[in-house]
Chain A
Amino acid sequence: MRVMAQMGMVMNLDKCIGCQTCSVTCKQAWTNRAGTEYVWFNNVETRPGQGYPRRYEDQEQWKGGWELTQRGRLQLKAGGRLKKLFGIFASPVQPELSDYYEPWTYDYSTLIEAPLGDDFPVARPKSLITGEDTKITWSANWDDNLAGTSQMGHLDPIVEKVRRESEEKIKFEFEQTFMFYLPRICEHCLNPSCMASCPSGAIYKREEDGIVLVDQDRCRGWRQCITGCPYKKIYFNHKSGKAEKCTFCYPRIEVGLPTVCAETCVGRLRYLGLFLYDADAVTEAASTPDPKDLYQAQMDVILDPSDPAVVNAAREQGIAEDWIEAAQRSPVHALAKKYRVALPLHPEYRTMPMVWYVPPLSPIVDLLREQGHDAEAPENLFGAIDSLRIPVEYLAELFTAGDTTIISEVLSKLAAMRSYMRDVSLGREGDASIPEAVGMSEEEMYEMYRLMAIAKYDERYVIPKAHAEDAHNLEEMGCSLDFDEGPGMGGSGPFGEASGGPVPVAVETFRALKNRQEGDTAASDEQLHGRVNLLNWDGNGTPSGMFPKRGADE
């Protein structure tokens, strides 16, 4: 047993309102550069829908992920090593810009510079690829909220599959349709096929936290990773000629801050924490013959951090105490393994993804409510989960390789939580038979409710800092205030103006922001009042309010 730590994420899809805040903040943080205009490390798809890039889930077309050879060995779906090398001069199945969209901007300056005339000036769309006038025909979320689904809904590969396998048709009529949002980032897989596809070996998994990164200095732009990733979450920067991907905001994770997408999520639906897993068991688990057993195989690879044997093995592997302790408190471990309500996205790709999803109960609740039923009564909900086959089958194709029993179990737990907690919230006696029906105790149900519904900041994010020996360097406060002279933004490093390492912009508000995020009450005026915004500082002297009062924050 080789115990390794993996930073993981769980998203509770019932809470996602599809506002795209995560997409926008992620883009501002990571991909607002030339060459990455079309790159969305985080995107939110409406399902049913084609996704981004279009129809990326159709692996017969895109050849992403792994498959088993006839002898049961794991092999890249796009072919073995030799075949990949021979295809290197022109990647056989790489999505083109038209499968994403042609990014554009607007010619805003005509709005203010156009000469006086009878017509209103308009800002014409300009292609960011050619610089010419363009016509906007598609984008990363063109089919948001089922837009155009009556015409294009059948293009969703999952819809195609569910239709093929059941006689019933997924209805796209307004009254009978269902929909939910699926936010997607890189899955930071345990068995990543992008990494296996990279001829240069530039993609690597960090030993400490399992984050999958592209070494920009070693990437040579062979583009095989783009084919290899079945989630199409590796993008080609067409200016630099290098592959780029979601970084799990590793600079933030290292200092114990949640990722930008999680931090800014208005629905507070994202959970971050550690998994401990057995690295030696990964390949074998990914080679499980029946795709429907892959979910269980993945669960078996994940170790119980409270098990003394696991803890000992983790210590032997040099995993620090605070990390083991964080793994024990990990919300993602609780949701995925303890309560078993979080599921991996497309386990059949055999990549062992580490971003998990709590499937949404709301499509079923909504359908019930529209039909005039009490959508929170347990018998109605349980009955609906059994009878509303189409949403359940659709979810099963996404999360369990088509196994509807697992989806039904998870949805039943969520339904039970809803029904049970309704009684409790209304001051009635909790009905112990409800949790019992889904194999849980009342205490467990309440704990799960706390984690999923109350979802306090420090319960959602349990992120141990990158390890202790250099943890003091990782404090954002530390690196800016260490100098004797007290630096400003771009202030004096050892070699004068603007030398030295980059200084994080959040520096002067870090403590106050942290307090606001973690505290139950709004940050007090006192903490924010009278502080100098360094962006507006003229560089002269040290005005009062430049530094926090000594000991005031402690």
Chain B
Amino acid sequence: MTSAFLDVDPAAFAAIAGMAIVTYATRVAGLALAGRLALRGRAEAAFEAIPPAVLTAVIAPAILLAGWPEAVAGALTALAAIRLPLIACVAVGVGAVVALRAIAGA
């Protein structure tokens, strides 16, 4: 961890290098697999579940364990996501959490 503008911390560099390597691997894997990867049925369902499962796991503690303002703001954001574009949902969530934290703190 570092806050200096141009510093690169060794652990941070390792994380970034690891991220870059696995990400590039997923992008070129398809070139080798092309035409041979035909997931069906249960395996396809499991594979398709990966993005929502991971995204949910990452934020679940910040929504469910942080307190009621975060939980309610999360629910409001989910409602907004039915209709509104990405960046508007972010505005709704951030606006809601600021207002609700003010109420909770008062």
Q: Do A and B bind each other?
A: no
Interface residues of A, Cβ cutoff 8 Å to B = none
Interface residues of B, Cβ cutoff 8 Å to A = none
